[in-house]
A = this chain, B = another copy of it.
């Protein structure tokens, strides 16, 4: 069911009447191309060129202004100099135009003065109800209703060109870069994909990528969504759209640029947005089953897989190949993408062996040899593999370069593929001929030509197949004392304060004692037991080691007293100004696997929870997973599964397995704490946490909690 905002976009994307403000007969100019491309692509509604300099353009009456049209207009395309845009939009609003796309550049992407002009457009939209896309947009193309409201060369009609259609499951593109949005469309079409819409959103003064994402999530014409993102401006709307798509089981592929410093610089400058914080995007994508693509070929290959194949029920792939070398290379690439290529059972090998020469191989990769492609062995092997429970997907690796012959019976292939709910993908190691493209399209398949992208696409079918929406983890009740303590502590929290707070929130911090008088040392030691660690506590000293404020491995009472005195003396010398809360005693942690656990509040998406390899590994190897908080224990376990230190936790090289249950529970608890107090908690870092062997729990060795600044800025 469409809600109000989405329903209104129906008239945006499929307008009954379009005005082109700035229309020109010169089709080498952007403003001249708009009318030309709309007509070339078969737009059937009313078209009103607007330009005081012409009476008529291309046989259509040209109007001096929008107000002069005197008939209802659903959409205005605005392609005039930046300084004239605002008056033109005012006129649109006055004339009751529903939507406008501002193609013109020279707004926030140019400088601060121009940014003010853009803010006025936004204000106009709020004030008048005229919904505005852009400025600095490349327009959109509605491929269902034939509305090419763009100047992109990608929608140019090539005479005599027959569109290749491998599937009726349409892909919808939402792109914050028009150039890339239409490039993905261009690449996808060449492979036989069909599209619903390509929408470029430009500077997003009013309508955002999230608005169109939400529309496509609900839109029955769109089966797969492809997003090209620089920065999401309205995180709450984005999350709602993502949740909607996930709920409807509609696959979403996203490219998020701005990962590198230079990429971020570019993303920021050219659409005048703050490039988003990448881990937050990763967390959002993981939560909603959105598949991230790293390059254009990967994005198109993944969209093609979603549009032409069912999801995979597991990671086991059979490779059927006409070239042993190509098959082995494909096997390497698939293994590198985390897929498995199990050796087939003797029975299945024997069954397949009946259709291939003796010098082939049926192990997996199944090398049917070039010979058996001609004699039908490819189809028979594919059929047997589709019907077997030994693999979850089939990849055919063949050469489809010939413009003369198509060795594969595509009608038979179509029947085989249709019979089983199992992905069957084709890769050609030579560049496929158009003959082959058409033949495979008739069987409902595209031909992949990029081995890396193909491996990513198969991986996406597996990951999306295994996706489970996060279960709503129960939030801890927001106990008033915690809230009060957090509010009090906006000036800073010591480790002791942080641990007390976490303990009050139900998180099992390990035993410790705060000592403020040396006379208490012996009693504290008797309670905790040697060996002990000693740590200075002060809200003014977040980095204790830098002032000699940590002493480890204290084995007896005399050393304890000596260390205590020495530590305070050193603190007095180095930081006479620091407020001293006391000295924290805690037992030295038993051995285990070291991890780091934390939460951080993203300005847009809210609190995230993170878990990573401990010590230097976090930073050196980026072995970290993020999720939107809260996660439940299952979600936490999936995060752990993404880490390369998962093998360490499972018991590495014969070591005992670590207490993964306890760790998952701790991740879930901490994420719930951060979510429940999202306006008050900026960041929590438990570093290190030692995970002991199974059944023996975790030790939070150190804890840092930063309260949010006084002005909360939640999503």
A-B contact pairs, 21 of them (CB 8 A): A105-B369, A106-B357, A110-B359, A156-B402, A156-B404, A177-B325, A177-B328, A178-B325, A180-B429, A257-B328, A257-B329, A261-B335, A262-B319, A263-B331, A266-B328, A266-B331, A266-B367, A270-B324, A294-B452, A296-B451, A620-B648
Indicate if the CB atoms of A326 and B177 lie closer than 8 Å. Answer: yes
| Complex alpha-carbon distance, A136 and B324, angstroms | 11
Output the least CB separation between A319 and chain B (Å).
Answer: 8
| Complex alpha-carbon distance, A323 and B153, angstroms | 13
Output the least CB separation between A459 and chain B (Å).
Answer: 14
Indicate if the CB atoms of A323 and B111 lie closer than 8 Å. Answer: no
Indicate if the CB atoms of B262 and A430 lie closer than 8 Å. Answer: no
Interface-lining segment among A39-47, A139-147, A181-189, A683-691? A181-189
Indicate if the CB atoms of A105 and B260 lie closer than 8 Å. Answer: no
A window 287-331: CB within 8 A of B: 294-298, 319, 321-329, 331
Output the least CB separation between A374 and chain B (Å).
Answer: 9
In the complex, whether A269 has a CB less than 8 A from a CB of chain B is yes
Indicate if the CB atoms of A430 and B186 lie closer than 8 Å. Answer: yes
Measured between beta carbons, the chain B residues less than 8 angstroms from A652 are: 616, 619-620
Measured between beta carbons, the chain B residues less than 8 angstroms from A335 are: 259-263
Measured between beta carbons, the chain B residues less than 8 angstroms from A156 are: 402, 404
Measured between beta carbons, the chain B residues less than 8 angstroms from A611 are: none
Indicate if the CB atoms of A341 and B403 lie closer than 8 Å. Answer: no
Known: A260-B331, A323-B179. A297 touches B359 (CB 8 A): no
- A331-364: CB near B (< 8 Å → 1, else 0) gives 1111110000101000000000000011101011
Measured between beta carbons, the chain B residues less than 8 angstroms from A623 are: 621
In the complex, whether A192 has a CB less than 8 A from a CB of chain B is no
In the complex, whether A265 has a CB less than 8 A from a CB of chain B is yes
Indicate if the CB atoms of A328 and B230 lie closer than 8 Å. Answer: yes
| Complex alpha-carbon distance, A327 and B430, angstroms | 29
Indicate if the CB atoms of A357 and B105 lie closer than 8 Å. Answer: yes
In the complex, whether A158 has a CB less than 8 A from a CB of chain B is yes
In the complex, whether A228 has a CB less than 8 A from a CB of chain B is yes
Known: A296-B429, A341-B260. A327 touches B266 (CB 8 A): yes
Q: Chain A: residues with CB nearer than 8 A to chain B?
A: 105-107, 109-111, 114, 136, 153-154, 156, 158, 175-183, 186-187, 190, 228, 230, 255, 257-267, 269-271, 294-298, 319, 321-329, 331-336, 341, 343, 357-359, 361, 363-365, 367, 369-370, 399, 401-404, 429-431, 450-452, 616-617, 619-621, 623, 644-645, 647-648, 652-653
Residue of B nearest to A261 (CB): B335
Indicate if the CB atoms of B452 and A295 lie closer than 8 Å. Answer: yes
Known: A186-B401, A266-B361, A402-B156. A328 touches B258 (CB 8 A): yes
Measured between beta carbons, the chain B residues less than 8 angstroms from A619 are: 652-653
Output the least CB separation between A327 and chain B (Å).
Answer: 5
Known: A230-B325, A359-B109. A331 touches B180 (CB 8 A): no
Indicate if the CB atoms of A270 and B361 lie closer than 8 Å. Answer: yes
Measured between beta carbons, the chain B residues less than 8 angstroms from A333 are: 294-295
Indicate if the CB atoms of B110 and A329 lie closer than 8 Å. Answer: no
Indicate if the CB atoms of B263 and A332 lie closer than 8 Å. Answer: yes
| Complex alpha-carbon distance, A179 and B330, angstroms | 13
Most buried by B among A178, A183, A623: A183
Measured between beta carbons, the chain B residues less than 8 angstroms from A334 are: 260, 262
Indicate if the CB atoms of B429 and A183 lie closer than 8 Å. Answer: yes
Indicate if the CB atoms of A341 and B262 lie closer than 8 Å. Answer: yes
Residue of B nearest to A323 (CB): B179
Known: A263-B331, A336-B260, A452-B297. A431 touches B401 (CB 8 A): no
Most buried by B among A153, A181, A335: A153
Residue of B nearest to A111 (CB): B358
| Complex alpha-carbon distance, A343 and B268, angstroms | 14
Measured between beta carbons, the chain B residues less than 8 angstroms from A620 are: 644-645, 647-648, 652
Q: Which 7 A-B pairs have the closest CB atoms?
A: A177-B325, A270-B324, A179-B323, A260-B335, A262-B341, A266-B328, A263-B332
Measured between beta carbons, the chain B residues less than 8 angstroms from A401 are: 153-154, 186
Residue of B nearest to A357 (CB): B105
Indicate if the CB atoms of A269 and B110 lie closer than 8 Å. Answer: no
Measured between beta carbons, the chain B residues less than 8 angstroms from A326 are: 177, 179-180, 183
Measured between beta carbons, the chain B residues less than 8 angstroms from A328 are: 177, 230, 257-258, 262-264, 266-267, 270
Indicate if the CB atoms of B331 and A262 lie closer than 8 Å. Answer: yes
Indicate if the CB atoms of A177 and B617 lie closer than 8 Å. Answer: no
Output the least CB separation between A287 and chain B (Å).
Answer: 23
Residue of B nearest to A546 (CB): B654
Most buried by B among A181, A260, A431: A260
Indicate if the CB atoms of A430 and B187 lie closer than 8 Å. Answer: yes
Output the least CB separation between A336 and chain B (Å).
Answer: 7
Output the least CB separation between A184 and chain B (Å).
Answer: 9
Output the least CB separation between A78 and chain B (Å).
Answer: 16
Indicate if the CB atoms of B429 and A325 lie closer than 8 Å. Answer: no
Residue of B nearest to A259 (CB): B332
**Per a CB cutoff under 8 Å, which of B255, B265, B363 touches A269?**
B363
Indicate if the CB atoms of B648 and A621 lie closer than 8 Å. Answer: no
